[in-house]
Structure 1
Amino acid sequence: MHKYIALLLFLAAGAAQAAQSCAAVSPETCAVAKSLGRGINMGNMLDAPREGDWGMKWDPAYADLVAGPFKTVRVPVRWSNHAAKTADATIDEEFAKRVDQVIDAFLAKGMYVIVDVHHYTQLSGDKQHPNEFEVDPAVLEQRLVNLWKQIAARYKDKPPKLLFELLNEPHGRLNGEPWNQLAAQVLSVVRATNPTRTVLIGPGEWNAIPELPKLRVPRDRNVIVAIHNYDPFPFTHQGMEWMPQFPMGPTCCSPKDRAQISNALDMAIRWNQQSGYPVHLGEFGTYEKVDLKMRAEYARIVRDEAEKRGIGWTYWNFGSDFGAFSTKTNSWIEPIRRALLE
């Protein structure tokens, strides 16, 4: 009997750890946060300056590949480079129809779909990527507001499984209060046409977990907070040509590495318990030059630690340089697929 009671207490403790607080959100958004589960990013396609610039183009066959094993898909989109340079930011209709195809393909599979504004580089103070145009600094923030005015109106009649993410990885000139103010302004525009749709908002410093205390979430009952985590960064980003400060060599995953991963997610859960807003791990992953066995080990550890805490996730990313799928062989990279799904 004592062993039975001890087992029940152990299971109850585990269940409590896996339940995020939803005190600040509606029952519907709480249900969404708990249902997102395992997901993947369709990165380096529509978020490239021009589709195809980064070696990936949307293929309708990807919907079948992703919809089976994953519940959620995140669709990064560089709307800012397909819109007028002026404050109105009128979106190019042909590009918008391309995004429609991707969103509709996944919604038709019954998946949760997160669509964001991705790589609006100038807004955070970064240099433009090749094939990305520059705009008058005076209209940067207003363009984001007007982009979302159009996106929200365009998709206002889509099912609730379509989620909006206001901006991927705000950082630089947006850190702190500037992003708090701009996010509130953008959300109010979204709410004019989508009063109850679930919206994701992340903290500054590239959605960094330690920045959560600086995020002032607007008073809104339908918000999930987006976090990203690539720690240990020198391991996950080693060998990247455009980041020479991270040379090849670091290994993973020592007890210290594991502690760094789990401690960060513990920090996110502590913030969740204090704020009442559920969190979602929108990105984690490893560059393709990292040893494949270690890539898989890292993916499994992050996946397990997130799920242990009831945090849904979307792996970065489907194909391309951090990919779990090889477009060269048209097949999953099995060690990573198994690490994420088995």
Structure 2
Amino acid sequence: MTSLAFTSSAQVLSISSAYGVNLTGNERTWDCPTFDVSKLEREIKRVEDLGLKAVRLPISFRYHLKSDPDFGKKLRRLLRSCAKVKIELILANFDHQLSEEHLEEGTFQIIDQWMAVLDILPKNTKGVFLEIVNEPTISPSSWYKASMSILSEIRKRNNEISIIVGASNANSMFELSRMKPYPFKNLIYTFHYYEPYIFTHQGTSWTGDQHATVGIPYPYDEEMMPVMNTKVKGTSGEVNFRDYDKTGNIVAVEDKISQIFNWAKTHDVIIWCTEYGVTENADRESRINYLNDVSQILRKYSIPSFLWEWEGNFGVKEIMNLSNK
């Protein structure tokens, strides 16, 4: 049995309830990433050793298809490696640049990218999943129009491969709960879970002043709460900070996740949570508490889940010690 022991605490991150993990890096075009198959294979072997079943691979197809003439060969090698260790692989389309201003053009570009990927994939695509767009931010109506076109074109080429699709507002579970399922078979609906953001995104520069307060514990503990950062005043973070006693606990986690579970049950569709996590700006014990609580609730509702992320500013790799017992 594989277990994870933390060096500085008796607490353990119980990721056995997670289905998989995100291996990030190939979506970060600002770093000019190289599609390093050897490194991916090493990390996938570690993931398999942990007992996880799948890897979600964020990729900028826009970048790699153009910049790397060997991308197709490398991707096929990775697929063979995943099949060898029986790890399922989600190919998630990041950096898609879909916008309201260039909706039609952007949709066509995404379709072209997926057609190129389908040309690369082998005939047997068992264990491979296509996530058409990560975290669309256009309006719900525009996203439905664009996603219908993307799904239709993929299905014309491959009627069997599993496709993952989420809602607008960055794969919001709340937007998903308002959606009507698509008229296609073999779809998996996804949502991302980072609630409450005031905890999971504390101190993250890219989310603005609303998350400037750091030292926020999980679960909520009045005696451990920091003083609100003055930068937060006047932003939505002020209200979220005030209400954290109601949102920073497992009861609130279950309340939200149960709602999307009920939506999926009503429509008889499959749902996955392809991202959940917390920034390393939070203290280690709080991170463990939070990830364990979210994992527990997702497991309770039989929702396959993917930690965000293996390495990076939300990374779980550096806070755990792998030991085989």
TM-score normalised according to structure 1 size: 0.74
CA drift at 1:137? 7.2
From 305, 310, 317, the counterpart of 1:325:
317
| Residue matched to 2:13 | none
CA contact (8 A) 2:26 2:33 kept: no
Matched, 1:111 2:98: no
Going from structure 1 to structure 2, the CA distance change for 1:209 and 1:318 (only over 3 Å counts) comes to same
CA drift at 1:320? 1.4
Give CA-to-partner distance per residue, 1:154-184, whole Å, 9 cap, x none.
Answer: 215143111111111111xx22111111111
CA drift at 1:261? 1.3
| Residue matched to 2:145 | 181
CA contact (8 A) 1:107 1:162 kept: no
Going from structure 1 to structure 2, the CA distance change for 1:103 and 1:118 (only over 3 Å counts) comes to farther
CA drift at 1:92? 4.7
From 141, 154, 160, the counterpart of 1:190:
154
From 278, 283, 292, the counterpart of 1:291:
283
From 132, 138, 151, the counterpart of 1:166:
132
CA contact (8 A) 1:163 1:197 kept: yes
Give CA-to-partner distance per residue, 1:39-77, whole Å, 9 cap, x none.
Answer: 10001x1111066669x9961311210112211110110
SS at match of 1:180: helix
Return the letter of the residue paired with 2:64: H
Give CA-to-partner distance per residue, 1:108-162, whole Å, 9 cap, x none.
Answer: 2101111111122x31469xxxxxxxxx776222101111112123215143111
Return the letter of the residue paired with 1:321: N
Going from structure 1 to structure 2, the CA distance change for 1:200 and 1:137 (only over 3 Å counts) comes to closer
CA drift at 1:288? 1.2
Structure 1 stretches lacking a partner, 5+ long? 1-35, 85-90, 127-135, 327-331
Matched, 1:48 2:28: yes
Task: Between 189-198 and 65-74, report the one with greater CA deviation.
Answer: 189-198
From 110, 119, 132, the counterpart of 1:144:
110
| Residue matched to 2:294 | 302
Return the letter of the residue paired with 2:168: G
SS at match of 1:322: coil
SS at match of 2:191: strand
Return the letter of the residue paired with 1:286: V
Matches within 5 A, 1:200-239: 200-239=164-203
Going from structure 1 to structure 2, the CA distance change for 1:58 and 1:75 (only over 3 Å counts) comes to farther
Give CA-to-partner distance per residue, 1:199-222, whole Å, 9 cap, x none.
Answer: 111011111111013434321120
| Residue matched to 1:82 | 64
Question: In the comparison of the two structures, how many residue pairs are matched?
Answer: 278
SS at match of 2:98: helix
CA drift at 1:260? 2.4
Return the letter of the residue paired with 1:268: I
Counterparts of 2:133 and 2:280 in 1: how far apart (Å)? 25
Going from structure 1 to structure 2, the CA distance change for 1:81 and 1:216 (only over 3 Å counts) comes to farther
Counterparts of 1:308 and 1:295 in 2: how far apart (Å)? 20
Return the letter of the residue paired with 1:316: W
SS at match of 1:287: coil
Going from structure 1 to structure 2, the CA distance change for 1:289 and 1:101 (only over 3 Å counts) comes to farther
CA contact (8 A) 1:153 1:193 kept: no
SS at match of 1:263: helix
Task: Between 213-222 and 275-284, report the one with greater CA deviation.
Answer: 213-222
SS at match of 1:225: strand
SS at match of 2:265: helix
From 273, 284, 289, the counterpart of 2:265:
273
| Residue matched to 1:93 | 69
Return the letter of the residue paired with 2:48: A
CA drift at 1:81? 2.4
Return the letter of the residue paired with 2:268: G
CA drift at 1:239? 1.5
CA contact (8 A) 1:168 1:206 kept: yes
CA contact (8 A) 1:203 1:214 kept: no
Root mean square deviation, CA, Å: 2.8
Structure 2 stretches lacking a partner, 5+ long? 1-16, 221-244
